[in-house]
Amino acid sequence: MLQGAFCAPVASNAATAATVGKIRGVRDPIYHLYLQANPKNASIPVLGPESAADEFTIGGTIQSKKTSAFLNIQTASTSYKPLVWGKTGETTAWGLEGDTIITVQSSSYGRQLNWLVCKSTENGYYDLFLQTGSDVPSGKTCSNYQTIHLPCLC
């Protein structure tokens, strides 16, 4: 058996050191779609093709290396929370658990690792929401309880 060929999740403290990498989905319908800005509206985070993938610095905030925009969680009464790219890092709840993107336990969201993805109006893209419960928007094609990850941190 090869040593080091597999990785296991390891809890990390978001405050330790920033990590840089692409962020991607790992199951259908977002398997190997990557976090980026919507090509028609740069303030909307989507998962899309690797050819347009961005790299991010993760350490309390998530910041685009390409645009310097920050991934922020918007307030909503539903359990799925819209995300937006902003000029400042208003959301400081982001962390890593192994290679999985989460909100940390000490944040107002608690430890969350589930995401809701819905087909975007742009073909081949999915809108991304932080999921804190089980609500889904009516009239949209969505997949609940997805996770998003960095490439393996082995």
Q: Kindly report, residue by residue over 65-97, the tens digit of the pLDDT.
A: 999 999 999 999 999 999 999 999 999 999 999
CA distance 23 to 43: 17
Domains of the chain: 19-149 (2.80.10)
Which parts of the chain are beta strand (E)?
19-21, 24-25, 34-37, 45-48, 56-59, 61-64, 70-73, 80-86, 94-97, 100-103, 115-119, 126-131, 142-146, 148-149
Neighbours of 73 (CB within 10 A): 21
pLDDT of residue 2: 41
Q: How far apart are the first and last CA of the chain?
A: 16
CB 95 within 8 A of CB 13: yes
Residue 60 per-residue DSSP state: B
Percent of the chain topping pLDDT 70 = 88
> Is residue 130 predicted with pLDDT exceeding 70?
yes
Residue 31 is given by DSSP the state B
Q: What integer is the mean pLDDT of 39-60?
A: 96
Model-level pTM? 0.86
Two structure tokens written together for 32 = 């190997």
Residue 5 has pLDDT above 60, yes or no: no
Residue 17 confidence (pLDDT): 63
Percent of the chain with pLDDT over 90: 85
Residue 10 has what pLDDT? 41
Q: What local confidence, expressed as pLDDT, does residue 18 receive? A: 77
Q: Which of 8, 15, 10 is nearest to 104 (CA)?
A: 15
